[in-house]
Structure 1
Amino acid sequence: MTRPPTAAQRRVVDAADPVTGRLRGTEPQLAALVLRGLAFRHPRPPHNHFLTPAGHRLRESAPEAAEPVVVAPATAGVFAARIGGEDGPVSGPARTREVHSAWQGLLELRRMTNPDGSVDRPCGWERTHLVQAAALALEAAGHRPSTRDDMAGYRVRATPQPEAVAVRDPDGAALRDCAQTLERAGWQVSEHNEPRTRASYLLASPRRS
């Protein structure tokens, strides 16, 4: 049976980039994680190391890695896609660059971790971070998230259904645009109505094939 990682190696895993899984550590630490099947070395220069699916699972098992109900704003120092309802400005050149970089990193993660190297459907990380993944797809495509003071724009929330998020937008045309964006990003999308208000919303799930 493979020995568990040391405390130092576990800190390297816990500090991995939350989107791409890129690791930073000493060469012995990274090599040990590769031997344990928790990381792999990218074959192309600069030969960075990234978490494997097993490494992502280990990282998510850490109490400090658990996601809060409300995603922290980008100003906290770690990138977080806007799920809607946060404080602060929703756009700007710096934010646009951050979102673009995060989306490209997620596409690379798909290529590296999907068995067939496909980038047109979600990967394992997205299935364990449904709200964040769907919000990133929307924000990267230019959709406007709502804020705490302005309900206009999308909001992505978890649902009781496994592997499904709810997407709401008071603008019906914008909601339909959100559906098209998520479908292009590899999600299965269906439109529904709230039982009491009859307001439309989307249910979106990562496509498997």
Structure 2
Amino acid sequence: MTRPPTAAQRRVIDAADPVTGRLRATQAQLAALVKRGLAFRHPRPPHDHFLTPAGHRIREAEATTAPQEPQEAPAATGVFAARIGGEEDAPKAGPPRVREVHSAWQGLLELRRMTNRDGAVDRPCGWERTHLVQAAALALEAAGHRPAERDSEEGYRVRATAQPEAVAVHEPDGARLRACAATLEKAGWQVGEHAEPRTGARYLLASPRRA
């Protein structure tokens, strides 16, 4: 069984950028994380270090198990979460949220540039393929689409599906649903519109584009 990271390594992992996983630490600390498979050094300048999927899992497990007050979780952990629609205790809309979403989207574009083999920013990266719901929701929220509130069906809702690389996007307004499709396509997703067999309600099925 692999030894858990040391307390110092946990602090470096916890301090990683919440979206890109970029690390800031001494060269010795970074080398130790690379040796343990928790980080990798990007081959292109400036040769920054990023969390590997294993490193992300440790970070997310720490955020999940750490005792904290529900209302204080985002500030305490520094973990950004895009609005998927219909969630309880959703972050309040307003200028601070707009800035936070914009920063997260720019970070994701940088992660694409750093981790896609050809440096492309118009195509989803590996992190998005392992966080489908969050990735699609971030693309929608960053483009200004409104998520559904708890007490309202208006707005988008992004949900996981049985398909391994697809999410469903629900939006009761047809025009806004098509606008969501256009946004996801621009963000590098393949999108198709479908109808629920029982109700006939329209929804989107979206998958990250590979090429």
- The normalised TM-score by structure 1 is 0.83
User: 1:67: how far off?
Assistant: 7.5
Match of 2:74 among 73, 76, 84: 76
What amino acid maps onto 2:208 in structure 1? Answer: P
Deviation per CA, 1:139-159: give whole Å up to 9, x if none: 000000011012110000000
The partner residue of 1:60 within 40, 57, 63 is 57
Amino acid paired to 1:102: A
Equivalent position of 1:39 in the other structure:
40
Task: Specify the alignment match of 1:95 in structure 2.
Answer: 97
Query: Are the structure 2 counterparts of residues 208 and 172 from structure 1 closer, same or farther at C-alpha, using a change threshold of 3 Å?
Result: same
Secondary structure at 2:168 match in 1: strand
Q: For residues 109 and 192 of structure 2, what CA distance do their matches in structure 1 show?
A: 24
User: How many matched pairs?
Assistant: 199
Shift, 1:28, TM fit: 2.0
Matching residue of 1:118? 120
C-alpha contact 2:122 2:188 (8 A) present in aligned 1: yes
Q: Which residue identity does 2:119 align to in structure 1?
A: G
Post-superposition CA distance 1:100-153 (Å, at most 9, x none): 000000000000000111000000000000000000000000000011012110
User: What amino acid maps onto 1:33 in structure 2?
Assistant: L
Structure 2 residues not aligned, in runs of 5+: none
**Unaligned ranges ≥5, structure 1:** none
Residues 83 and 14 (structure 1), Cα distance of their counterparts in 2 relative to 1, 3 Å cut: same
Equivalent AA in structure 2 for residue 79 of structure 1: F
Structure 2 match to 1:85: 86
1:194 shift after superposition: 0.5
Task: Report the aligned-residue RMSD.
Answer: 2.8
* Cα pair 2:177 2:203 within 8 Å, conserved: yes
User: How far off its partner does 1:40 sit?
Assistant: 2.0
Kindly state the Cα deviation for residue 10 of structure 1 after the two structures are TM-superposed. 4.9
Query: Where in structure 2 are the equivalents of 1:121-160 lying within 5 Å?
Result: 121-160=123-162
The amino acid of 2:31's aligned partner reads A
CA shift in 2, pair 1:206/1:74, >3 Å: farther
SS in 2 for 1:202: strand
